[in-house]
Amino acid sequence: MADISVVLAAPGWRAAVKRPEALVRRAACAALREAGAAGAITVLLTDDAAVKRLNGTHRGKSKPTNVLSFPADAPGQLGDVALALGVVRREAREAGRHAGAHLAHLVAHGALHLAGHDHIEAGDARRMQQAEARVMRRLGLPNPWRGVS
């Protein structure tokens, strides 16, 4: 069983997504189950400015991104995931998706990273996309990769 903590640092998440904490927990648990991983994850639901700072500090990129994953180096801890509200809302709107479905996909993506998945090589990217699609199906949400070339 996974231990999922959710920190709601930007209250706008509640306006964008119904019951964001519950959705995050379900998506993270489903992703860890898919990956056969167990451990604690903390998910930070924050704003673009906070994610921009994290991205700059840890990746040397001075811009917000949708999701960041930070693997832990402690027994029982998988790591942390941070999501930027403005970026997630904008991407969902541009893709014609509900913000909640996009949030669930990005949480699954981040949790899969913490469980050891990556998408640097083409084959790894395809396997990660398939894992994300299976997680979304388990959650009863649309496949984020359907119709994407």
N residues, the chain: 149
Answer yes or no: is pLDDT of 149 > 60. Answer: no
* Inter-residue contact 20 to 103 (CB < 8 Å): yes
Residue 35 to residue 28: CA distance in whole angstroms: 11
pLDDT tens across 107-147, in order?
A: 999 999 999 888 777 677 889 999 999 999 999 999 998 86
Q: List, as one string, the DSSP characters of 43-106.
A: EEEE-HHHHHHHHHHHHS--S--SEEEEEEEETTEEEEEEEEHHHHHHHHHHHT--HHHHHHHH
Model pTM score: 0.93
Which pLDDT score, from 0 to 100, does residue 3 have? 93
User: 139: which residues sit within 8 A by CB, 6+ positions away?
Assistant: 26, 27, 30, 104
Which pLDDT score, from 0 to 100, does residue 124 have? 76
Going by the DSSP 8-state scheme, the letter that residue 41 receives in this structure is E
The more confidently predicted of residues 124 and 52 is: 52
Structural domains present in the chain = 3-138 (3.40.390.30)
Answer yes or no: is pLDDT of 63 > 90. Answer: yes
Answer yes or no: is pLDDT of 1 > 60. Answer: no
- Nearest CA to 109 out of 32, 57, 9 is that of 32
Which pLDDT score, from 0 to 100, does residue 147 have? 64
pLDDT tens across 14-51, in order?
A: 999 999 999 999 999 999 999 999 999 999 999 999 99
Residue 147 to residue 2: CA distance in whole angstroms: 32
Q: In what order do the strands lie in the sheet with 67-74?
A: 3-8, 40-46, 77-84, 67-74
